[in-house]
Amino acid sequence: MIEALMLAYPWLKAAHILFVIFWMAGLFMLPRMFVYHQESAVGSPEDKAWIAREERIASIILNPAMLIVWVLGLSLAYVTDAWMQGWFIAKLALVIGLSGYQGWLMRYRAQLAAGARPLSGRALRMLNELPGLAAVLIVILVVIRPFA
């Protein structure tokens, strides 16, 4: 098993980075859609259209991409024995945070579909900065490895 994963290592890493890109794209798109969605009247045809779009982003991009990033990331950690390395532990903490943020997005999507508008457009735009900030820190950790 480990021999096969070692051989596949460069492909695992290439696929990992690709699905990270898809995941981040979904994390940036969905809150932006929430902002425009909230400007539509509850129950209107536009409201229903946004609900359908958000459902597609969640089921086609966000949830599969997050799952695949985790599976490939943990496979890479197994192949490179990264478990006890400081950069990896810090990275994992940030990625668990990103996964929690996605959980919150899914709850907010359900609230919007139920007709609630819990946060202002401004608050949603500010929250939308979080994945970007996390991505900067994660990439610095995994490429620069500021601490072993």
**Are the beta carbons of 51 and 100 closer than 8 angstroms?**
no
Pick the closer one to ligand HEM by CB: 118 or 146: 146
Pick the closer one to ligand HEM by CB: 84 or 114: 84
**Are the beta carbons of 109 and 30 closer than 8 angstroms?**
yes
**Are the beta carbons of 19 and 65 closer than 8 angstroms?**
yes
Pick the closer one to ligand HEM by CB: 52 or 84: 84
Q: Shortest approach of ligand HEM to residue 29 CB, angstroms?
A: 15
Q: Shortest approach of ligand HEM to residue 146 CB, angstroms?
A: 13
Token pair for 47: 């409201």
Q: Shortest approach of ligand HEM to residue 58 CB, angstroms?
A: 17
Residue nearest to ligand HEM (CB): 73
Pick the closer one to ligand HEM by CB: 2 or 52: 2
Q: Shortest approach of ligand HEM to residue 35 CB, angstroms?
A: 23
Is the sign of the CA dihedral 86, 141, 68, 107 positive or negative?
positive
| Residues contributing to the site for ligand HEM (CB under 6 A) | 13, 16-17, 20, 24, 69-70, 73-74, 76-77, 80, 82, 92, 95, 98, 135, 138-139, 142-143
CA distance 127 to 53: 20
What does each C-alpha distance from 43 to 38, 67, 68 come to in angstroms? 12, 32, 35
